[in-house]
Structure 1
Amino acid sequence: MTAFCGQRGFTLIELLIAMALTALIGAMSYRFLDTAMAVSEQGSDVLQQLNDLERVWLLMAADLQQASTRPAAKPATGVDALAVTDLQPRGRPAMLSLAGGGMFLPSTLQRPGAQLWFVRAGWSNPLQQRRSELQRVAYRVVDGNLYRDYWPERNQSLTETPAGSLRLLQNVEALSFRFLPVGALPGEDAWSREWPPVLNDSVSTAAPGDDRQANDELMTRLPAAVEVQLQSRALGNISRIFLLAGAP
């Protein structure tokens, strides 16, 4: 009994101090863990954005490198917004940007946020369906989302509802394009903000007389290169230049 009487336990104050230290260490550990998880989640979001952006570049590269020099087809029935170009020497364009040729692409296609439209070739057909290998493509931005619309080419109206619409990227703040005409040197003054260039564009007025007319006709087909400028909330400003294999 004497041995037990000599032992001493924790006092109430010591227990309270130990409990307080345990709670403090737990709170600090939770904050560290919460911060680490937030950083990890943010890193995962950025990595997903990068993966999505790389998919955008791959799709755009495939589309633009397969862009067809074939002018926009007249609809099989009725008329479309490009009917005004049928009476012009330059004819129908093969590519249209937001305000190309003085027209407004979202109204022409009746697709809000449309920024670029053209026809591409080489549309794979693994199921051997009875359809054209030409595909109409449009890129547009709506509510911060970048979409790729597509239609099988069958001389339909430009305002027909697309066969499919794929959301490619979120949190897009701005999307714009620049176009380099065939034969132009890649300086800042050579790029056009719209395609086809409007009549008073410095690019289209560079050549006098018959040379200007030939140059205008050439520019309404396809540019030599397209620069894509994209502003993302997560990734900032990114640009990429694509060369068009189909340009003469």
Structure 2
Amino acid sequence: MSTLNNHQSQGFTLLEILVAMAIFTLIGIASTGLLTNVLDDDKASSERFAQLEKLQRAMLTIERDVLQAMPRAVRINGELNQVVMRGGEDELGGSADSIGFVHGGWHNPQFMLPRSTLQLVGYRLQDDKLQRLYGNYLDNVIGYEPKTKDILDGVSNFQVEFLLSSDEEAQWQESYTGVELPMAVAITLTTDVFGEIRREFLLASQ
């Protein structure tokens, strides 16, 4: 009887403890790896969602401006000008296509601000950033430089095309300088994250 009691009170051997520690270590390593993967995936998802939100904001800004394009010319360096929209390569000093025009719908509640509800805007690609150029006044003084805002980064290419008629044989034009608005404008962005994105806009005045 005493022999049985002594055998039961011996507890775990050193080998059994080492085996148990090894098992717990492996479980801990596996759990840490799984948790790290989950955290990395969550971080990547959050970053991609943030990039998607930036893309959506940029596209909404472009859409709002283009769809409200107005057939209104502005003075260039103080000189009269009849062109209401211009776009294509080397127009606004960017590294790809660009476009410039006047849009309406610029909020000015009860005309309290000393400006019009029209705004001259432009879009261009500079240093892999899509930029929006704008000013507070349509006909600015000689030497005036527009304000510039980066609305989307990670953009490798920016293309603008113009459709001039509804004829079935009409082709998209790579550049346009006209005294009337084109029938439609197409914007194509090539981004590092989402690849190529194309939007086509039928102008409101057509």
1:194-209 residue pairs with structure 2 within 5 A? 194-196=175-177
Relative to total residues, which structure has the larger strand share, 1 or 2?
Answer: 2
What is the 5 A alignment of 1:122-137? 122-126=105-109, 128-137=112-121
With the length of structure 1 as denominator, give the TM-score of the two structures. 0.72
Q: Does 1:106 align with 2:92?
A: yes
Q: CA deviation at 1:8?
A: 2.2
Aligned CA-pair RMSD: 2.6
1:106 and 1:113 in contact (8 A); partners too: no
TM-aligned CA deviation for residue 143 of structure 1: 2.4
Once the two structures are overlaid, the 10-residue window that deviates more, 67-76 or 116-125, is 67-76
Paired residue secondary structure (2:92): helix
How far the C-alpha of 1:220 sits from its partner, in A, is 3.8
Report deviation, 1:23.
1.6
Q: Quick one: distance in 2 between partners of 1:233 and 1:227?
A: 20
CA distance in 1, matches of 2:97, 2:134: 12
2:63 to 33, 42, 61: 61
Using the aligned pairs only, state the percent identity.
30
Evaluate the alpha carbon distance shift between residue 177 and residue 74 of structure 1 in structure 2; reply closer, same or farther with a 3 A threshold: closer
Q: Is residue 106–residue 112 contact of structure 1 (8 Å, CA) maintained in 2?
A: no
* 23 and 69 in structure 1: CA distance in 2 versus 1, 3 angstrom threshold: same
Cα 1:121–1:190 change in 2 (3 A) is same
C-alpha distance in 1 between matches for 2:205 and 2:137 = 18
Match of 2:193?
Answer: 234
The number of aligned residues is: 203
Structure 1 residues not aligned, in runs of 5+: 80-85, 197-218
2:87 match:
97
Output the CA distance in 1 between the equivalents of 2:134 and 2:117. 12
State which of 60, 73, 81 in structure 1 corresponds to 2:75: 73
Letter in 2 for 1:234: V
Between Structure 1 and Structure 2, the one with more helix by share is 1
Counterpart of 1:206 in structure 2 is none
Q: Compute the displacement of 1:50 (Å).
A: 2.1
Q: In the alignment, is residue 169 of structure 1 matched against residue 170 of structure 2?
A: no
**5+ unaligned residues in a row in structure 2: which ranges?**
none
1:129-151 alpha-carbon deviations (Å, 9 max, x no partner): 11122211111222222222211
Q: Distance in 2 between matches of 1:191 and 1:114?
A: 14
Mapped to 2, the partners of 1:225 and 1:133 lie a distance apart of: 23
Rate the CA distance shift 1:159–1:64 in 2: closer, same or farther, 3 A. farther
**Matching residue of 2:30:** 28
Is residue 2:181 matched to residue 1:222? Answer: yes
Larger gyration radius, structure 1 or structure 2: 2
2:68/2:105 contact within 8 Å kept: yes
Change beyond 3 A, Cα 1:8–1:112: same
Map of 1:145 onto structure 2: 129
Q: Which amino acid aligns with 1:156?
A: N
Measured after TM superposition, the shift of residue 93 of structure 1 is 1.9
Which secondary structure state, in structure 2, belongs to the residue aligned with residue 34 of structure 1? helix
